[in-house]
Amino acid sequence: MVPFHVETLSLITAVQAAVLALMLWFGIYGDAGRARTSLRIRAVALGLEAAGWGLLVSHAYVSSSVMLLGGNALNLIAQGMSVIALRMLLGEPLRWRLVLAIAVAGWLGVAWFGLIDVDYRSRVLWGSFAIALNMLLNIEALRSRSQPRASRARNLMLLICGLAVVLLLWRNGELWLSANPPDQIIAPSVTNFIYILLSGQQPLFGSIGFLLLYNEILQQELHTLARIDPLTGVSNRLAIDEATAQLLERAVRQRQSLGVLMLDADHFKSVNDRFGHGSGDKVLRALVSRIRATLRETDVIGRVGGEEFVVLSPGLDLPAALQLGERIRLMVQSTPILIDDHMLQLTVSVGVAVAAPGERDGAAVLQRADKALYAAKRAGRNRVMATSAFEDDGLALPA
């Protein structure tokens, strides 16, 4: 028979969970945010798990009813908080009412079969069902369609949750099918030994998976923030360069063209001089909203300079790109911007270039659009001009 020391195994798990809770709580710095809050909730859950295992360690010094009701309450609350933490980290609906209902129903069922209609196997089955529901909520969040494609961290968390469900199924199968099942968790048996040994590792493995997922999400957020213009919320120069390369590759595969528009707000320096830079920033944000109103969902807009913007529009040939540039110009000209109780009549100059099917040089296309933009400004501003893939001279938009 396998040596069974429930106190030793429980003590190891309690200390391990407590140390993990402290590390998660005090090891995270930075401004409060969704990811950091979720990690704090996970830390509290680990602390409650440590307290629950601590009750099992001290079973000789507390009454069986206290150990039964208190230990299961701590465990179910910890399970529910872990579900909330994971769903918060992933940006999924928290489902906190359902989580609370599972915890309450699980605890009431354990109390009923532990104190009133005493039946150890039914008690374990009821508690296991509540834990399994929590694991299924985790799995549902990890496999949600709103999440990006599967990653190693999410796959690891799915594996951990799946193994937890398998462990619950195995334990209940042993209890119901065994000829001499144990009558309590502290009874010496192979089933109890294996269950406590493996379930005691869940705080460790679950925390490792949670931290890997936390790190992955932070890396994704940093990747996104590094490609967003903080003032206007559109793509910055780095993101535009990457998007140009990606859209050109797609255009080559689909044998399509790519329209590239370079836009510049006319006489913007006078706006800053007259209203101040704070109001100038508001003008830029209003300008972005007007440009976006003319674009398709597949189009990309980015800020590449102080008041200079780029629009990437897949599938447009030169006439269609010129028409898009003219729609943007008319939209901006016809919708004045209210700044400091003054209606500002803003205009833009637009330079247009088109990458022909098969062209891969994104820098060359952007340079052609930039040349067309300066041609439009030299021609008097508030107009649209273009260069083709084979011409460097500005082409005026036909009336």
Express as a percent the part of the chain with pLDDT over 90: 68
Mean of the per-residue pLDDT values of the chain: 89
- 342-360 pLDDT, tens digit per residue, is 889 999 999 999 998 888 8
Q: 187 or 206: which carries more pLDDT confidence?
A: 206
Per-residue pLDDT band for 220 (boundaries 50, 70, 90) equals: confident
* Residues whose CB is less than 8 angstroms from the CB of residue 354 and which lie 6 or more positions away in sequence, other chains included: 257, 258, 259, 260, 316, 317, 318, 321, 365, 386, 388, 389
Q: Which of 385, 397, 386, 231 is nearest to 307 (CA)?
A: 231
According to DSSP, residue 342 is labeled E
Query: Could you tell me if residue 340 is left (phi over 0), alpha (psi between -120 and 50 degrees) or otherwise beta?
Result: left
The CA distances from residue 303 to 19, 326, 328, in Å, are 47, 19, 15
Domain extents for the chain? Answer: 6-225, 237-396
What integer pLDDT is reported at residue 125 of this predicted model?
94
What average pLDDT does this structure show over 354-368?
Answer: 89
* Residue 378 pLDDT exceeds 90: yes
* Residue 148 pLDDT exceeds 70: no
What fold does the segment set 237-396 form as a domain? Alpha-Beta Plaits (3.30.70)
String of DSSP letters for 264-328? EETTHHHHHHHH-HHHHHHHHHHHHHHHHTTS-TT-EEEE-SSSEEEEEEET--HHHHHHHHHHH
Q: Which of 273, 291, 266 is nearest to 339 (CA)?
A: 273
- Does the pTM surpass 0.85? The reply is no
* Residue 396 pLDDT exceeds 60: no
Tell me the two tokens of residue 235: 């793509």
CA pair distance 265, 381, nearest whole angstrom: 9
Q: Which of 220, 224, 250 is nearest to 355 (CA)?
A: 250
What average pLDDT does this structure show over 31-45?
Answer: 87
Helices (H), the chain: 6-26, 34-57, 64-90, 96-111, 120-142, 152-177, 190-199, 202-225, 237-254, 268-275, 277-292, 318-334, 362-378
- 62-102 pLDDT, tens digit per residue, is 888 998 999 999 999 999 999 999 999 999 999 999 999 99
Looking at the structure, give the CATH architecture of the domain made up of residues 6-225. Answer: Up-down Bundle (1.20)
Same fold: 6-225 with 237-396: no
What integer pLDDT is reported at residue 3 of this predicted model?
56
What integer pLDDT is reported at residue 1 of this predicted model?
47
